[in-house]
Structure 1
Amino acid sequence: MTAGLERGSTRVAGFQDPEMDHQLMRQLGAVRYGGAAVGMCLAVARQIQDADVQGWVDAFAASAKRQMADADRRERKGHGISARDQYLMASNSFRAAEYYLPIDTPLHQEYGLNSRAAFLHAMRCGGWHCQELWFSQDGLRLPAYYMRAPGSAGDRVLMIVSGYDGTLEETWLSHGRAAQERGYDLLLFTGPGQMDVWRFNPVSHFRPDYETIGRQAMDYVLALPGVDPQRVALMGISFGGYFALRIAAFEPRLQAVILNSPIVDLHAYMTAFIGLDPADLPPEDDFGVADLPHIPDHVMTAQQRLMSRNLILRFGQPGFAQTYRRIRDFSLADADIARIACPTLALVGEGEGAEPLRQWQAFQKGVGGQGAAWCFTAAEGADAHCQVGNLAYSAAVSLDWLDETLEQKAVD
Structure 2
Amino acid sequence: MADSTVRSTTRVAGFEDPELDFQLLRQLGSAAYGGASVGECLAAAARIREAGPHSWTDVFAELADQQRTNAQQLSAAGHRLGARDRYLHAANSYRAAEYFSPFGTDRHVELGLASRAAFLAAMAENRTEIEEFWLSWRGQRLPGYWFTPQSDGGRGPTLVVTSGFDGTLEETYFQIGVAALERGWRVLQICGPGQMDTARTESTTSFVPDTESWVSAWIDIALDRPEVDPDRLALLGISFGGYFVLRAAAHEPRIRAVVANSPVVDLRAYLVSFLAGMGGDPEQVLTPEEDFSLDDIDQIPDAEMPPTVKEMSRSLIRRFGQTTFLNTFHYLREFNVDPASITCPALALVGSGEGGEPIRQYEEFAERSGGPVTRRMFTTAEGADTHCQLGNLTLSNAVTLDWLDDVLNR
TM-score range, shorter chain: over 0.9
Letter in 1 for 2:348: A
Which residue among 279, 304, 308 is the counterpart of 1:303? 308
Partner of 1:321: 326
Task: Tell me the CA shift for residue 291 of structure 1.
Answer: 2.1
Partner of 1:197: 198
Write out per-residue CA displacement over residues 369-405 of structure 1, whole angstroms, 9 at most, x where no aligned residue: 1111100000000000000000000001111000111
CA change 1:50–1:405 in 2 (3 A) is farther
Where 2:335 maps in the other structure, the secondary structure is: coil
Q: Quick one: distance in 2 between partners of 1:134 and 1:382?
A: 34
CA change 1:343–1:67 in 2 (3 A) is same
1:344 aligned onto 2:346: yes
CA change 1:50–1:338 in 2 (3 A) is farther
Let me know the Cα RMSD of the aligned residues. Answer: 1.5
Q: Which runs of 4+ in 1 moved over 6 A?
A: none
Letter in 1 for 2:32: R
Partner of 2:152: 152
Partner of 2:289: 284
Does the CA contact (< 8 Å) of 1:341 and 1:369 recur in 2?
Answer: yes
Which stretch of the first structure deviates more once superposed, 210-219 or 300-309? 300-309
Task: Tell me the CA shift for residue 299 of structure 1.
Answer: 2.7
Partner of 1:24: 24
Write out per-residue CA displacement over residues 306-348 of structure 1, whole angstroms, 9 at most, x where no aligned residue: 2221111111111112111111211113xxx222221100000
CA change 1:345–1:191 in 2 (3 A) is same
Partner of 1:143: 143
Task: Tell me the CA shift for residue 279 of structure 1.
Answer: 2.4
Partner of 1:267: 268
Task: Tell me the CA shift for residue 20 of structure 1.
Answer: 1.1
Letter in 2 for 1:325: H
Alignment of 1:22-101 (within 5 A): 22-49=22-49, 52-101=52-101
Q: Quick one: distance in 2 between partners of 1:393 and 1:50?
A: 34
Does the CA contact (< 8 Å) of 1:279 and 1:323 recur in 2?
Answer: no
Which stretch of the first structure deviates more once superposed, 71-80 or 220-229? 220-229
Which residue among 294, 302, 307 is the counterpart of 2:299? 294
What is the TM-score with the length of structure 2 in the denominator?
0.96
CA change 1:256–1:2 in 2 (3 A) is farther
Q: Quick one: distance in 2 between partners of 1:52 and 1:299?
A: 21
Q: Percentage identity across aligned positions?
A: 50
Write out per-residue CA displacement over residues 22-68 of structure 1, whole angstroms, 9 at most, x where no aligned residue: 10110010110011111111100111148955300000000000000
Write out per-residue CA displacement over residues 117-143 of structure 1, whole angstroms, 9 at most, x where no aligned residue: 000011111111110001122211100
Write out per-residue CA displacement over residues 246-294 of structure 1, whole angstroms, 9 at most, x where no aligned residue: 1100000111111101100011111112211112311121122222223
Which residue among 353, 359, 362 is the counterpart of 2:361? 359
Write out per-residue CA displacement over residues 65-99 of structure 1, whole angstroms, 9 at most, x where no aligned residue: 00000001101111000000000000000000001
Letter in 2 for 1:71: A
What is the TM-score with the length of structure 1 in the denominator?
0.96
Q: Quick one: distance in 2 between partners of 1:271 and 1:397?
A: 30
Does the CA contact (< 8 Å) of 1:52 and 1:303 recur in 2?
Answer: no
Alignment of 1:99-248 (within 5 A): 99-153=99-153, 154-248=155-249
Q: Quick one: distance in 2 between partners of 1:40 and 1:290?
A: 38
Task: Tell me the CA shift for residue 296 of structure 1.
Answer: 2.7
Does the CA contact (< 8 Å) of 1:53 and 1:303 recur in 2?
Answer: no
Q: Quick one: distance in 2 between partners of 1:51 and 1:22?
A: 19
Task: Tell me the CA shift for residue 295 of structure 1.
Answer: 2.5
Write out per-residue CA displacement over residues 215-251 of structure 1, whole angstroms, 9 at most, x where no aligned residue: 1111111110132111110000000000000110000
Where 2:298 maps in the other structure, the secondary structure is: helix
Letter in 2 for 1:254: I
Q: Quick one: distance in 1 between partners of 2:360 and 2:374?
A: 16
Q: Quick one: distance in 1 between partners of 2:23 and 2:384?
A: 15
Does the CA contact (< 8 Å) of 1:53 and 1:302 recur in 2?
Answer: no
Does the CA contact (< 8 Å) of 1:20 and 1:51 recur in 2?
Answer: no
1:382 aligned onto 2:367: no
Task: Tell me the CA shift for residue 4 of structure 1.
Answer: 4.0
Where 2:228 maps in the other structure, the secondary structure is: coil
**Alignment length, in residue pairs?**
405
Letter in 2 for 1:279: E
Q: Quick one: distance in 2 between partners of 1:204 and 1:2?
A: 58
